[in-house]
Chains A and B, each alone.
Chain A
Amino acid sequence: MNPVLKLLLEGEPLSTEQMGQVLGMSETEVAMELEKLKDQGTLLGWRPILNPALDDDENVRAVIEVKISPEREGGFDRLAERISKFDRVESCYLMSGAYDLLLVIRAENLKRIAQFVFEKLATLEGVNATATHFMLKAYKEQGYFIARAAADEDKPAVSP
């Protein structure tokens, strides 16, 4: 795996300069590697991972199971890509099992999500059924725990 990518995946926020220091590369080389990763489509982008409980905008999140009809050519892709284009859709996955697509949706309030479902989603040709589940509380968000661990005061500062 690309060393720059490996370092990114470790999750420690480092500047390109610091990444360069760690990897023994110049800042420019790191920046070029990052550009390359973006061009290849490996690195889609990055955003901070926020604690949903401390979201100032009080956004509501839901997952929606969607049953859709596959098409003769392209299977689920055309419709899945079309659904993905809505800004409210944060993630969209084709699933095995009882339904076809799993969407993760974020909106300002419950009403907006409901509106999205019955106005935009359910009305699409090829969408056969939807089931919406609202998220109540997050315990772990993309690998990060919501509850903060207490500082470790018992570990000695110097040990053999």
Chain B
Amino acid sequence: MSTANRFVADHVAGLPRSGIRDFFAIVSQMKDAISLGIGEPDFVTPWHIREAAIYALEQGKTSYTDNRGLIKLRRALSTYVEENFGMSYSPDTEILVTVGVSEAIDIALRAVINPGDKVLYHEPCYVSYHPSVTLTHGQAIGVPTSAEDNFALDVDKVIAAWEPGVKVLMLNFPTNPTGGVTDRAKLERLAKFAVEKDLLILSDEVYAELTYDGQHTSIASLPGMRDRVIFLHGFSKAWAMTGFRIGFACGAPELIEAMMKVHQYSMMCAPILSQEAATEAVTNGAESVARMKEQYHRRRDFVARRFNEIGLKCHAPEGTFYAFPSIQSTGLKSMDFCKGLLDAEKVAVVPGTAFGPSGEGFFRASFSNSYEQLITATDAIERYVGGLG
């Protein structure tokens, strides 16, 4: 047996493996499973975006770029964010192009967290939030969101969870995995609270374009918030560009400069071909985004309705391409439900617990899938649930 474990740092050794990885290991053993477990669009990246990457390659664009990212991309992002979110950021000093939003979260935390600093985050949430805080030697404090609120953030719970030493509040609306959003009124209360406690907010809004009911509001756009919010966004979801790995951060020059230092010494820059593709996406991609969004919207309506018919209570997710139905009526634990479903019907969904303790009693089902697969999968889930009683 290897004893190399002794070399692994304590705080890394102590990190749990992602629950998704464990579940993936099981699913990948199974032939012909229908997977509603994929956290990315079913669409391939629109051709005009792929073509921009090919063209850039033909032109010999194979170099490093400015650490902050191509200036033409940052200019295009500045325009896009102003037009769509209402915040104005300087392309020179207030925007940083990153390798996906994942890197942006990591370097934002590394740029601001001193050992022992506390970070509030809401869960169930994207799998990396808590570990990213731990990796910076910070302390993550989860604030549960619940089905009763359609997984919107309960501001009172945030206030109650606050304790001395909290420096950062992480937000992700619309939320992976719940599809929850938080309306303007709640964001205004949160903003007031953030000012009162002098909190920095990391707002991951990667699903913003995939908001189905009502208008998405960024907390960074609220009066007085701009300089205490790091706005994080990326191309993976709305533009179906997961493999390109492009995200970006916008914020006060001092914060972006601090993030840039970490980025510079770790990543150097985001890959140039991906940046070229992202430039095309943000400049000319609106039509593609709208087309995909419309298709997600119809699938959402269908899937949410079906889960409710089956007896798995499910709010219509107001954003993202995930439904997060409750399995409490079955009395099963999330992991047991999902393993059982996979064994019995070869349908893969992700146990809610992969996204945090408050995910117990739920599963995440991606509806970025063909209708035929969604119909087959929901029929299978109906059979499985029917057989449990």
Contacts and interface: CB of A to CB of B under 8 A. Distances in A.
Contacts of B350: 158
A12 B302 CA distance: 15
Interface residues of A, number: 17
Contacts of B35: 157-158
A18 B370 CA distance: 12
Interface string A1-40: 0010011001010100010011110000000000000000
Given A12-B371, A21-B375, A160 B348 contact: no
Contacts of B384: none
Contacts of A158: 20, 23-24, 27-28, 35, 37-38, 348, 350
A42 interface: no
A36 B274 CA distance: 47
Contact of B128 (A10, A18, A160): A160
Contacts of A157: 24, 27-28, 33, 35, 37-38, 348
Interface string A125-160: 000000000000000000000000000000111111
B371 A159 contact: no
B381 to A, nearest CB: 14
Contact of B127 (A6, A21, A160): A160
Contacts of B348: 157-158
A24 B378 CA distance: 14
A21 B371 CA distance: 10
B227 interface: no
B82 to A, nearest CB: 30
Interface string B150-178: 00000000000000000000000000100
Given A10-B295, A24-B302, A160-B128, A18 B37 contact: no
Nearest to A154: B243
Contacts of B28: 156-158
B371 A18 contact: yes
A159 B375 contact: no
A151 to B, nearest CB: 12
B298 A159 contact: no
B372 interface: yes
Contact of B126 (A7, A12, A21, A160): A160
A32 to B, nearest CB: 20
B301 interface: yes
A7 B375 CA distance: 14
A6 B295 CA distance: 10
Contacts of B27: 157-158
Given A157-B35, A157-B38, A160-B126, A7 B23 contact: no
Contacts of A159: 20, 24, 37-40
A160 B375 contact: no
Interface string B329-349: 000000000000000000010
B84 interface: no
B264 interface: no
Contact of B39 (A3, A10, A14, A160): A160
Given A155-B38, A156-B38, A158-B38, A24 B305 contact: yes
B18 interface: yes
B102 to A, nearest CB: 9
Given A6-B298, A22-B298, A24-B302, A160 B18 contact: yes
Interface in B9-61: 18, 20, 23-24, 27-28, 33, 35, 37-40
A14 B40 contact: no
B152 to A, nearest CB: 22
Given A14-B371, A18-B371, A160-B127, A7 B298 contact: yes
Contacts of A12: 370-372
A146 B126 CA distance: 39
Contacts of B20: 158-160
23 contacts: A3-B298, A7-B298, A7-B371, A22-B298, A23-B298, A155-B40, A157-B27, A157-B33, A157-B35, A158-B23, A158-B27, A158-B35, A158-B37, A158-B38, A158-B348, A158-B350, A159-B20, A159-B24, A159-B37, A159-B39, A160-B20, A160-B39, A160-B354
Interface of B: 18, 20, 23-24, 27-28, 33, 35, 37-40, 126-128, 176, 294-295, 298, 301-302, 305-306, 348, 350, 354, 370-372, 374-375
Given A12-B371, A21-B302, 12 more contacts: A6-B294, A12-B372, A14-B371, A18-B371, A22-B371, A24-B302, A24-B305, A158-B20, A158-B28, A158-B348, A159-B20, A159-B38
Q: Closest 3 A-B residue pairs measured CB to CB?
A: A158-B37, A158-B24, A159-B39
